[in-house]
Amino acid sequence: MKRIGIICAMAEELEELSKLLTLEQKHTYYDIEVLECNLGGKKLFLAESGVGKVNAARCAQIMIDHLDLDCIFNIGVAGSVSKEVKVCDVVIGKKLVQHDFDVTPFDHELGYVPKVGVYVESDKRLVEIADKAMDNSHKGIIASGDVFCTKKEMSEHIAKTFNALCVEMEGASIAQVCFLSKVPFLVIRSISDSPDGSENKLTFEEFLFESAQKVAKELIEIIKQI
């Protein structure tokens, strides 16, 4: 895999990753600026998608259409919905689900997306490489939805319904685009907050940069192993 796309939702997440790389050139597709970098002979293409599923999906498809990518990573921060996952822990998304996609009146499970299913599985090889490259990481289901989850009731519902480890706002939509476009992908998130209330003194703002920095460093080590 020589051409790797990396999508971050926010500027803060992209900035922490770009600090670890040397910029070679920039590309612009519509309003998406893509930073081209090199790491050990591999071409890395970094982009800030914007927050939310539509922004993330749009960015993924634009990158796939224009950059001839071998795989896509989505990295950033997330909120824990599991008592086993603490602030600054890293979660490897073995499966992704859209917790707010609801066509249950048509006799489908919550999260079911037509032509996709409830869960989208990450590329098994990338999951294996990430698991070996990182110590003390968690591996499981990441849930995505167009809502910043702060309420205990919502986080408990997501955890119970989907057996999710954390929640964020982009990963599953990128997973869907990659699945439909047949591009290998992996979502990796570092925990910045715990909307379940177990660590209510630790806020998103306090740990955004630390969590973003950690997942960026972990991604670099993973890419070195590809």
- Of the pLDDT bands very low, low, confident and very high (cuts 50, 70, 90), residue 1 is low
Catalytic annotation on 13? yes
Mean pLDDT of the 177-198 span? 86
pLDDT at 202: 47
Catalytic annotation on 153? no
Q: Name the burial class of residue 123, with classes exposed (0-12), middle (13-18) and buried (19+) by CB atoms within 10 angstroms of its CB.
A: middle
pLDDT of 198 > 60? The answer is: no
Is 222 strand, coil or helix?
helix
**Residue whose entry in the numeric block shows the structure tokens 């790389």:** 21
The active-site residue, picked from 89, 168, 193, 218, is: 193
Question: pTM of the entire structure?
Answer: 0.93
Least confident of 58-62, 90-94, 141-145, 207-211: 207-211
**Residue whose entry in the numeric block shows the structure tokens 């570092």:** 190
Longest dimension (CA), the chain: 50
Is 40 strand, coil or helix?
coil
pLDDT at 88: 85
The active-site residue, picked from 13, 48, 196, 218, is: 13
What CATH number should be reported for the domain whose range is 3-225?
3.40.50.1580
Mean pLDDT of the 54-60 span? 98
The pair of three-digit structure tokens given for residue 142, joined into one six-digit string: 């990441």
The pair of three-digit structure tokens given for residue 8, joined into one six-digit string: 């971050």
Please, are residues 147 and 169 in contact by the beta-carbon 8 Å criterion? Answer: yes
pLDDT at 206: 65
Q: What is the mean pLDDT of the chain?
A: 92
Distance CA 11, CA 22 (A): 17
* Helix ranges restricted to H, the chain: 11-18, 53-67, 124-133, 152-162, 171-181, 204-225
